[in-house]
Amino acid sequence: MFSASDLRKGLKVEIDREPWIITEFEFCKPGKGTALYRCKLKNMLTGTTMDKTYRSSDKIEKASMEEREMYFSYFDGEFYVFSDAETFDEYPISSDILGSSVNFLIENSLCNVLMFNGKPIEVELPIFIEKEIVQTEPGARGDTATNVTKPAKIDNGYEIAVPIFINEGDIVKIDTRTGQYAERVKKA
């Protein structure tokens, strides 16, 4: 159990048997009475948000979550299947949970999967991945203005903005948190 003074942004709590994460937090000490802790919470299963105010004497349930290392194994047409690194148990995860991360999945890549009551609810990919550029226009010669970019597609059709010197066949590093180009790894 957490006391209200333990609350902070990013803390995961359980309310009505569902996991919630505190997205905003504000401490308020009125001139009279007890301190108040105002929180904005986001449901980690449904994505809904709510505002909740706690008094300093309130107790909040700690969410029973665990983080496991898993390898992305394969896509079966409906679910993305991850394999536990220790037990080799397989866990099917829907694209709803993965969101835009599906564009950056690489077979056998190690990911951190957040489990709530034995079910996966969140997948954290490696920060950087390497992908090959399969389609892009050639850069215009002489266009040397800084930060000039052009669209490019990786093997799964996801489009990113890359500098004009990147060509088809080049391997680039992509930041999975933002989905943006980070650097060229290997020239074609």
DSSP secondary structure of 129-142? EEEEEEEEPPPPTT
Gap between the Cα atoms of 3 and 62, Å rounded? 10
Per-residue tens of pLDDT for the chain, all 188 residues: 888 888 888 888 888 888 998 899 888 888 787 888 899 999 888 888 999 888 888 888 888 888 899 999 999 888 999 999 888 899 999 888 888 888 888 888 899 998 888 888 888 999 999 999 999 888 666 656 667 888 999 988 899 999 888 888 899 999 988 889 998 887 75
Fold match, 2-62 / 128-186: no
- Comparing CA positions, the residue from 160, 155, 157, 156 lying closest to residue 174 is 160
Quick one: tokens of 115? 């489990």
The pTM assigned to this predicted structure is 0.73
Looking at domain 65-124, what is its CATH homologous superfamily? Nucleic acid-binding proteins (2.40.50.140)
Gap between the Cα atoms of 8 and 6, Å rounded? 7
Fold observed for domain 128-186: OB fold (Dihydrolipoamide Acetyltransferase, E2P) (2.40.50)
Name the 3-class secondary structure at 159. Answer: strand
Name the 3-class secondary structure at 102. Answer: helix
Domain ranges of the chain: 2-62, 65-124, 128-186
The CATH number of the domain covering residues in 2-62:
2.30.30.30
- Comparing CA positions, the residue from 178, 145, 148 lying closest to residue 166 is 148
